[in-house]
Structure 1
Amino acid sequence: MMKSLFASLLACLLLSGVMGHSYITDVSTKLADDDKCSLCVEFAEQAVDGLLQFILQVGVVDSCGDLCQAFADKIGNKAIGFVCTILCDVVGVKEFVNIIQKADLDPIYYCELIPVCGVNDNGDAKFTTFDVSPKSGPQGVFQIAFEYVSKNGTGTGEISLECVTVDGIPVGDAFLHELAPAGTYNGVFQLKAEPDPNCDPTQGPCEQWLPGDYTVKIAICNGECGSKHPHSQIYDESSATFTITQ
């Protein structure tokens, strides 16, 4: 029942957020198995910046319920207010506010401080396979497959993907991966390498996927890739190339 509740809340949180277009989609077995951890990370990505600004405006608040209800009313989002209360109740309102200020907008570190995401500072991971297929072809869907081996298990972190494009427009995304024991793991992403008809050029440059050579870079990290906070490191990186012919 508890796992089902967190899964439902996560779905509501995702639907209620502002979803930007992403060319990269995870089509592998779910990388984040802990619903409470993934719920927290989604909350942190969508709401912690706004919640921090709200706290700075309203000052001291007496309870988690008062803080989260007021924030939910301000932004008009009951789902985020409900998740806020659940996470705040874990540590109490004073520590909850302290963690928001301390985490410095790093969602994974924030959720480790709550704490609802597990920590393993002795983890490791090494890519054994990283490939893009087809190697060459017209605009369309390219499969990105990877495999990595961990001898000591991995901490809560992310797998980051970046595609270096011909016209220099940044394309990339990052996906939460769970605290996991030692073993061999694999996954598949899809890269939709074709212009997005819904892209609004007034909101930023639109990738055209011009003919030429492309490089896809992958990183697996403990914590958020590039973070300077505790429990953060880059385990391993790899790259692969493909060509768009037309």
Structure 2
Amino acid sequence: MYKGIALVILVIFGGAAAHTHKINAQSSHIRHFSLSLKEENNANDFCRDCVDTFDTLIYLVLDGIFELSIINTCDDICNYVTEKSGSPVLYAICAVGCDAVGINEFIKIAKEVDLDPIYFCESLKVCPINDNGDAKFKSFAILPSHAQAYSTFILDFAYESVNGTGTGQLVINIQTVDDIEISTTFLIESLKPGRYAERISIDTSPDPTCDPGTAQCEQWYPGLYNVTVMICNGECGSHHPNSQLYDMVNGSFRIDK
């Protein structure tokens, strides 16, 4: 019952979700050019919406568990989520996930203290699992190899999967000369076997919106910048099931004086 209602709601209101979790957050310096992380995948927008709204959904579910004296059905908790959030997408994810595992298991999963969003959405059967998946980098280049600050560097790489992938992450880490680590993560929905090309831009202009009083602001001083790219099953670095590092590649670029 919940699944049918939720499917209709997601089709109509799919863009209304509040995207709060950092799993898809991009540094102001890093941008994703290509779209193949979403193309040719085995998943659907349920998975992406679930991961993106993880923080808000978990907060409201736990709040509902605390406030409601009795929770007998999925409708009890998911109606509470809808009432507090006003979001039909949050209702849809709550209803689909709860309907898939049952109310008792849903509450048990939500109460886990060290959840990460991919594991949570996989546990609710919203994101596909593929523990036999794989991915291997086939090429990697940073162009140009050196330039002055305010230039844009391009990460151009491709990876191949023989068995397809599970729901996972692509992580970009940049170690700067002043020891400010810049990191960006992208969700990879479950991919079919094949070869996937990606292009990432790195803008080495100082961020004019960065407030040095509240954050470390990268100035892109002359020197060597080391770049690491990881592709993972599940969240990179997670200890949960269905998580592993598929492959990692390193490179560097130099900012001239």
Asked if 2 retains the 8 angstrom alpha-carbon contact of 1:220 and 1:237, the reply is yes
Provide the rounded CA distance (Å) in 2 between the counterparts of 1:40 and 1:102: 17
Q: What's the offset of the Cα at 1:77?
A: 4.9
Identify the match of residue 204 of structure 1 among 208, 211, 215. 215
Q: Which moved more, 1:131-140 or 1:58-67?
A: 58-67
Identify the match of residue 94 of structure 2 among 74, 84, 91. 84
Provide the rounded CA distance (Å) in 2 between the counterparts of 1:106 and 1:84: 16
Provide the rounded CA distance (Å) in 2 between the counterparts of 1:204 and 1:122: 41
Asked if 1 retains the 8 angstrom alpha-carbon contact of 2:26 and 2:185, the reply is no
Residue number in structure 1 paired with 2:3 = none
User: Which letter maps to 2:219?
Assistant: Q
Q: Which moved more, 1:174-183 or 1:80-89?
A: 80-89
Residue number in structure 1 paired with 2:115 = 105
Asked if 2 retains the 8 angstrom alpha-carbon contact of 1:169 and 1:207, the reply is yes
* Partner secondary structure for residue 203 of structure 1: coil
Provide the rounded CA distance (Å) in 2 between the counterparts of 1:4 and 1:67: 19
User: Which letter maps to 1:50?
Assistant: Y
2:17 equivalent to 1:13? yes
Which aligned pairs between 1:1-246 and structure 2 lie closer than 5 A? 6=10, 9-14=13-18, 17=20, 22=27, 23-32=29-38, 33=41, 34-44=44-54, 46-51=55-60, 53-55=62-64, 57-58=66-67, 60-74=70-84, 76-79=85-88, 81-82=90-91, 83-102=93-112, 104-138=114-148, 139-246=150-257
User: Which letter maps to 2:127?
Assistant: C
RMSD across aligned positions (CA): 2.8
User: Which letter maps to 2:87?
Assistant: K
User: Which letter maps to 1:27?
Assistant: F
Asked if 2 retains the 8 angstrom alpha-carbon contact of 1:103 and 1:109, the reply is no
* Partner secondary structure for residue 235 of structure 1: strand
Asked if 2 retains the 8 angstrom alpha-carbon contact of 1:220 and 1:234, the reply is yes
Provide the rounded CA distance (Å) in 1 between the counterparts of 2:32 and 2:8: 22
Asked if 1 retains the 8 angstrom alpha-carbon contact of 2:61 and 2:77, the reply is no
Provide the rounded CA distance (Å) in 1 between the counterparts of 2:123 and 2:65: 20
* Partner secondary structure for residue 213 of structure 1: strand
Q: Give the percent of matched residue pairs that are identical in Structure 1 and Structure 2.
A: 37
After superposition, the Cα gap between the structure-2 partners of 1:7 and 1:17, relative to the gap in structure 1 and judged at 3 Å, is: farther
Q: Which moved more, 1:217-226 or 1:193-202?
A: 193-202
Asked if 2 retains the 8 angstrom alpha-carbon contact of 1:48 and 1:100, the reply is no
User: Which letter maps to 1:12?
Assistant: A
After superposition, the Cα gap between the structure-2 partners of 1:26 and 1:185, relative to the gap in structure 1 and judged at 3 Å, is: same
TM-score, reference length from structure 2: 0.81
* Partner secondary structure for residue 60 of structure 2: helix
Asked if 1 retains the 8 angstrom alpha-carbon contact of 2:17 and 2:90, the reply is no
* Partner secondary structure for residue 16 of structure 2: helix
Provide the rounded CA distance (Å) in 2 between the counterparts of 1:198 and 1:167: 19
User: Which letter maps to 1:57?
Assistant: F
Q: What's the offset of the Cα at 1:52?
A: 5.5
